[in-house]
Structure 1
Amino acid sequence: MAEGDKDTQSQKMKHRPIVRIGIFLISHSFFVSVVCFTAGIVALLLLPVLAKNTYVSENALMPGSANPMLSSQDVAEADRLVKDMLGLKEKSGEVGKKTPNLIARNMADLGAEVYHHKFHPQINYFHPLDFFSGSSKSGKIPENSSCAVCGINTVGIIRAPRGDGKEAIVLVTPYNPMEIELSEALSVALAYSIISLLTRVTWLAKDIVWLAADSRYGEYVSVAAWLRDYHTPAFGDLGKLDAGMCPEINTLHEQNANAATDRRVNTDFSRAGTMAAALVFKVVNEHEETEKDALTIFAEASNGQMPNLDLINIVNYLAVHRQGLRVKVEKIYALLNSVWLKAVGDILHFIDKVARSINPQWKFAIPLEDYIEGAATLASSMYHQALGLPTGSHGAFRDYQVDAVTLKISSRVSLLNKSARYEFLLRIGRLIEGVIRSINNLLEKFHQSFFLYFLTSPSKFVSVGVYTIAFVLLVVPLPIVAAALYSGDNGWDSDSTNKTNPASKNGLSTTIESWRWLHAAKVVFIVHLWGAIVSLLPYLISRLHGMTPTTSMLSWVSLSICTLLILYQISGSPYLCSGMPQSQHRQWAIMKAVMIAAAAIGLGIMSIINFATAQIGALMVVPMCLMAHPLKYVHRLGRLRALSLMACNLFFGFVGFPPAALLVTRVWSEGCNGVNLGDFWIWLESLWAWNSATYLYLFLVHLPCWVLSLHILFHPC
């Protein structure tokens, strides 16, 4: 009776759908992997087609619902400030100190609370313990720094007549007080005209903070220093630069004390409310022969963070439909002339024609030009998010969870023409006014729209619910193939002995076989530990003085190889095989299964930190791991399959190595001129200086997978 119950129970287990699906996927892992990976590539190529038009999700924003109030009189006052700033440039001497005073005096004339914020230019450095804490982003002050290398931000605050002081909108205009140009003076004057208007309006409900950022040491540095002090209150004199250390800069306050107009400039750090949003705008002297003035939006922040899409939407809507500007986002221009991308677009058009012939309502293709431009913009959006570096000083705000964008504005005509300059300032000023008015209408922070998205144009985006499908299709073969390799029931290692081994009939053999994965797991763990050590070596190398990028790179490679050999000496050879014949023949498959499982876990974790990095990494890691096959057994697979497998292994073995991948990218985009070994060190320096998670991905996921793939290629068992 008991035996009958067991047979019935086992029969029910066999008929469970989830079990049958799992058995089917494992038994056909090769076919399933090819189909899923191909479908993932196709899904990526279809993203420009699947992009949706942007729309304003938050009804309270109401962009363009009110007529602009900025007048030509405000623009005339702004033009006067431009002449004053350029006049200081013509005078030799203390232009670096007089320009902040001039801006502060004009701020004070408008009734704003004004103060100077002094900061030291801080150098970025690599410290592993501070990688994700954010403290290393601010860097450290050089030991030999003096007040001669101090920057001076000028800050003006307008208190909202209808507000309670709990929220604020920040306007940032970067400029170099030492070598101020016409475009920078126009940026400052543009903000001045807007502030002049906002001091007179009655609808303002949020405080306005105008930060005239001293960009002589970099636009990001000055903004990040001010934000750090804004969000880290200092008590007493702890947050101030020592007066005894800064006699040169103290002349600034002596001038303020002597002049009656400068007595309105505070010496204490003042604050407004919580930042609702920030706009960084700058005029650039990039004259283009076009019919409209151009506005370029930069939105990417550190580790792929993006501002709420509604902020980009209102800027794009007001710029296009109210001020008639040509709005752009960054794109990879090399793809615009790509032959294969045009071929993909032609294929989509052919499929669209066939679908329309069957049913006229079936329409999914877009014009070829739109597809190519959308793909180039999508690739740029993915690349900048995956790189993890901010594309402007707006990234400093995103580190404090403040939605911000950088607006780069260029005129279609020369700004030396006075009437053209007036018209340009009036149009751009009304755009900024409209954006401020929309943000002013918000009763809460941006939250209605998307935070995870890719842009294919200023007015089209791909949401997280769409582009995640491609990533899932790319990664889903990894756990399936890992299970198939471990069970021995797959099409990847047709040379392996999937038949029952007579030696395994005894209990001892079965016990040994059940623990056959331990050696493979140890090898995978040692290689990943080596990857972690390699990621920490730059901290030691960067402490050595007088090292060129090429020398540092060579030292890094040498230390990495020595570290790997030492770990092998301690833990044993990775090619060690157990004594059983079946274990020897299957050891490489078990190692590949554990490697694939570790790669799947690494890509999954990386998709939480920076999805774009995981998306691009999957395109390289997944085929590199799946194609790895011992060269010893390649001849058993058939001539055609053996040749194709060897070619794929050689290709991914070369391109999968991070320095080689960077070399190929540089040669493809810039040519062979000026490419050297030190470029990879410089590139990684930028990653760790900005705490980019891509740096960790390269050495904790990608590099170990590459090394383990080489282990499998040359595995003797």
Structure 2
Amino acid sequence: MAGERGEEGGEEGDPNLKKRAHAARSRLIVRLGAFLVSHSALVSVVCCVAGFITLFLLPVLAKHTYISENALMPGSANPLFSSQDVNEANRFIKGIIHKRIEKEEAGIELQKFIGQSIADVGAEVHYHKFSPHTNHFNPLHFFSSTSNTARIDTNNSCASFGVNTVGIIRAPRGDGKEAIVLVSPYNSQNMEYNEALSLGLAFSVFSLLSKVTWLAKDIVWLAADSRFGEYNSVSSWLNDYHNPIFSRDSGNLDSISNDCHHWNEIRIQGANSNFFKRAGTMAAALVFKVMEKKEKGDRDCLTMYAEASNGQMPNLDLLNIVHYLAVHRQGLRVKIETMGSLLNSAWVKFTGEILEGVSRLSKSLNPQWKFDVTTADYVEGAATLASSMYYQALGVPTGSHGAFRDYQIDAVTLEFLPRFYLRNENAQSTFLLRSGRLIEGVVRSVNNLLEKFHQSFFLYFLTAPNKFVSVGVYMIAFALLVAPLPIVAAALFARAKANEITTDDCAEKCTPIDTKESEIATGSWKWLQAAKVLLMIHSWAVIVSLLPYYISHMINLNSTMSMLTWVSLSISTLPFLYALFGSPFSLNVEWELLKAVMVATISIGLGLMSIINFSTAQIGAMLLVPMSLLVHPLKAKMNVNALLRAALLTCNIAFAFLGFPPVALLVAKGLSEGFGKLSIGDFWEWMEFLWEWNSATYLYLLWVQLPCWLLCIHILLHPCSRGDSRHKQ
């Protein structure tokens, strides 16, 4: 028996058997690849249709949110925020309004009042002086934090800088290694009543937290002076917080010139208010503010903003605890941004009606199937999903919470929209009570964490305040759209090589060695020619992306003139490159090879962009993939009927028109806002907005979509003389 087992073991370990099994698997992969390449047209149609269907089904596939981290325990403790804290908030608001009336020294008195109030509750206080940032186009600053933007040189006058007031509560149960940040922005030069209400809410919560005994994390309250923008004040403080400058005048208000001698009066007895103070590592941040407009409805409303730079999102658990406490504990109505144009869209409603009919049919077949869709839910989910994808693809933060995300800190902006007019004192007290208890509950949940947020999702789309689509679901649509690209590229190259061998007379006249050399001289050379065209067009795209840096330095140019200058310089640069390297037509590059190179480039560009900003890659794939797969020379004679050929030509022209980035933007804006408000300068303003925020979408549009669009135009205009002869053969 032992010998038999040994023989069996020897057979199983036979290296020849392993080689044969490996060869069989390799042959199977080769056969599968050959099958896909030979049926590339069918594979492309099936994958593209499946990708778009999956994309339209994402609102249906969304799941309800849930708390992944058990340690958060939202709502497990009764709130301590009471009517006494509301009265304290009202007193603080009246004090702020009184200081605002003193217009001649409003900026100074507000900071002094806030700082003195922080010191009165026993917390540490200091002042942070910062200068405004300059947002200029700099191609070397992409993918870097916007906090690294250059600062304006100031003359040390009072109007040339802002001052944030920062209060810190040291946790009685903590070791000072972690902190929670509360941010309330306000304009110190022109403060409105709703901003005073935001400061009063923040101070009342901060005052309450200074008295509790359960704190395990330090509390930092940043009263952000937003005279130069909300994001600017927060990012400046975060930059100094994480990158300390050890100099004599760092954070010292006494270093200001005599023209601003009133700043020397900012003193808090018993505290060094001019020394930059820090707490622990930031576990989370809440940016909250009260809005002026009145919300229609029977409940106060809360709007959440979570998108940060280049599509970054905070951990979903942070949004989940805000939603849970707001809805189930304080009775607030939670909203997120929706794309209003889709709420009234006929085709979205039609799609929802079809899905509702399918759900009714599925219920009649099997009542246990959990496929329940209504038209109203689908329309709202699609509009919210489109908004979530759009703001992530834009790559620009939707609030000052984005400054925290640049340092990998989970943060969210909360906008409170009361249902009453702000001057109504009775309703104001009720509103402050609910809002204060909500913020206290969120702080208490984050305080329970023993580590950073990590249990829930960081990659997701929102379809409702309590519904989301995870990365494992929405990436299926993108994978289906991109999957045909390498297959089509291989099929096109194989077809071009087969046609070259078929038409080569050397195959009959030359020896086998000469035939091999001929193949190298024809097929490989043609591939290098196509690669040369690709390199030339991408070099042109890089030049086009750098032109705005010089155009932006021109004086007295409005958006329309800047756009026309950009277009004229871009067009004039292309013939120069053609004269230097040769145009695709003069190089006699076959359109199959040119299309194969283009399709391979699109797959690489979309794959890289999906790592940086998935939403941008997803939206780009919806336009680039059909355009690249359908593109065909207009002069080519295809063996298809006239109707199909006319449809193909129409699709080619339509995608070539919509694939041009300025046209795509103008059409999208016209559908949402109306075509009567469009202008040529809109695209310049939009691109200027992207490069000022260092959005990677700017690079995608000019380094991926623009060169691929130009290659599609070259393929459409290809003379295709030799291709016609091949089709005849």
Q: TM-score, normalised by structure 2?
A: 0.92
Give the drift of 1:178: 1.6
Give the drift of 1:650: 1.3
Q: Secondary structure at the match of 1:631?
A: coil
Q: Secondary structure at the match of 2:382?
A: helix
CA distance in 1, matches of 2:384, 2:147: 31
Give the drift of 1:550: 1.6
CA distance in 1, matches of 2:451, 2:21: 58
Structure 1 residue 216 and structure 2 residue 227: aligned? yes
Any residues of structure 2 matched to 1:133-212 within 5 Å, and which? Answer: 133-134=144-145, 137-142=148-153, 146-212=157-223
Q: Secondary structure at the match of 2:421?
A: coil
2:610–2:617 CA contact under 8 A, matched in 1: yes
CA distance in 2, matches of 1:166, 1:250: 37
Return closer, same or farther for 1:538/1:251 CA change in 2, 3 Å cut-off: same
Q: 486, 494, 507: which is aligned to 1:487?
A: 494
Aligned residues: CA RMSD: 2.3
Q: 548, 559, 565: which is aligned to 1:538?
A: 548
Structure 1 residue 693 and structure 2 residue 696: aligned? yes
Q: Secondary structure at the match of 2:608?
A: helix
Return closer, same or farther for 1:200/1:358 CA change in 2, 3 Å cut-off: same
Partner of 2:573: 563
Any residues of structure 2 matched to 1:387-426 within 5 Å, and which? Answer: 387-426=394-433
Instruction: Please list the CA deviations of residues 585-604 of structure 1 after superposition, one character each: whole Å capped at 9, or x if unmatched.
Output: xx100110011001100000
Instruction: Please list the CA deviations of residues 181-218 of structure 1 after superposition, one character each: whole Å capped at 9, or x if unmatched.
Output: 11111110001111111111100011000000011111
Give the drift of 1:222: 0.5
Give the drift of 1:634: 4.8
Aligned length: 695
CA distance in 2, matches of 1:16, 1:359: 44
2:308–2:405 CA contact under 8 A, matched in 1: yes
1:130–1:136 CA contact under 8 A, matched in 2: no
CA distance in 2, matches of 1:464, 1:502: 50
Structure 1 residue 511 and structure 2 residue 520: aligned? yes
Q: 295, 318, 323: which is aligned to 2:325?
A: 318
Equivalent pairs: percent with the same residue?
A: 58
Structure 1 residue 660 and structure 2 residue 670: aligned? no
Q: 288, 298, 321: which is aligned to 1:291?
A: 298
Q: Secondary structure at the match of 2:80?
A: coil
Give the drift of 1:262: 5.2
2:353–2:374 CA contact under 8 A, matched in 1: no
Structure 1 residue 91 and structure 2 residue 94: aligned? no
The answer to which of 643-652 and 469-478 deviates more is: 643-652
Give the drift of 1:675: 2.1
CA distance in 1, matches of 2:471, 2:366: 30
The answer to which of 236-245 and 453-462 deviates more is: 236-245
Return closer, same or farther for 1:439/1:139 CA change in 2, 3 Å cut-off: same
CA distance in 1, matches of 2:27, 2:234: 60
Letter in 2 for 1:354: L
Partner of 1:116: 127
CA distance in 1, matches of 2:392, 2:403: 15
Partner of 2:502: 500
Partner of 2:373: 366
1:148–1:248 CA contact under 8 A, matched in 2: no
Letter in 2 for 1:692: S
Any residues of structure 2 matched to 1:498-647 within 5 Å, and which? Answer: 500-501=502-503, 503=505, 505=507, 506=510, 507=515, 508-515=517-524, 516-578=526-588, 587-634=590-637, 636-647=639-650
Any residues of structure 2 matched to 1:439-454 within 5 Å, and which? Answer: 439-454=446-461
Return closer, same or farther for 1:396/1:14 CA change in 2, 3 Å cut-off: closer
1:346–1:368 CA contact under 8 A, matched in 2: yes
CA distance in 2, matches of 1:15, 1:697: 37
CA distance in 2, matches of 1:643, 1:499: 31
Q: 36, 39, 61: which is aligned to 2:72?
A: 61
Instruction: Please list the CA deviations of residues 471-495 of structure 1 after superposition, one character each: whole Å capped at 9, or x if unmatched.
Output: 00011111111111111189xxxxx
The answer to which of 612-621 and 142-151 deviates more is: 142-151
Instruction: Please list the CA deviations of residues 522-561 of structure 1 after superposition, one character each: whole Å capped at 9, or x if unmatched.
Output: 1011111111111111112222232222222111112211
2:184–2:198 CA contact under 8 A, matched in 1: yes
Q: 677, 681, 684: which is aligned to 1:674?
A: 677
Give the drift of 1:78: 0.6
**Structure 2 gaps, min length 5:** 1-15, 721-729
Partner of 1:27: 38
Letter in 1 for 2:316: L
Give the drift of 1:458: 0.8
Return closer, same or farther for 1:13/1:238 CA change in 2, 3 Å cut-off: farther
1:138–1:225 CA contact under 8 A, matched in 2: no
Instruction: Please list the CA deviations of residues 303-323 of structure 1 after superposition, one character each: whole Å capped at 9, or x if unmatched.
Output: 000000000000000001100
1:296–1:327 CA contact under 8 A, matched in 2: yes
CA distance in 1, matches of 2:33, 2:111: 69
Return closer, same or farther for 1:160/1:504 CA change in 2, 3 Å cut-off: farther
Return closer, same or farther for 1:15/1:694 CA change in 2, 3 Å cut-off: closer
CA distance in 2, matches of 1:489, 1:710: 20
Letter in 2 for 1:476: A
2:158–2:260 CA contact under 8 A, matched in 1: yes
1:57–1:449 CA contact under 8 A, matched in 2: yes
CA distance in 2, matches of 1:387, 1:404: 19
Return closer, same or farther for 1:265/1:174 CA change in 2, 3 Å cut-off: farther
1:124–1:136 CA contact under 8 A, matched in 2: no
Return closer, same or farther for 1:502/1:175 CA change in 2, 3 Å cut-off: closer
Partner of 2:93: 82
Partner of 1:101: 112
CA distance in 2, matches of 1:343, 1:319: 33
Give the drift of 1:357: 3.2
Instruction: Please list the CA deviations of residues 240-280 of structure 1 after superposition, one character each: whole Å capped at 9, or x if unmatched.
Output: 47856543444222x235xxx55646111111111000000
Structure 1 residue 335 and structure 2 residue 342: aligned? yes
Return closer, same or farther for 1:523/1:499 CA change in 2, 3 Å cut-off: closer
Letter in 1 for 2:66: Y
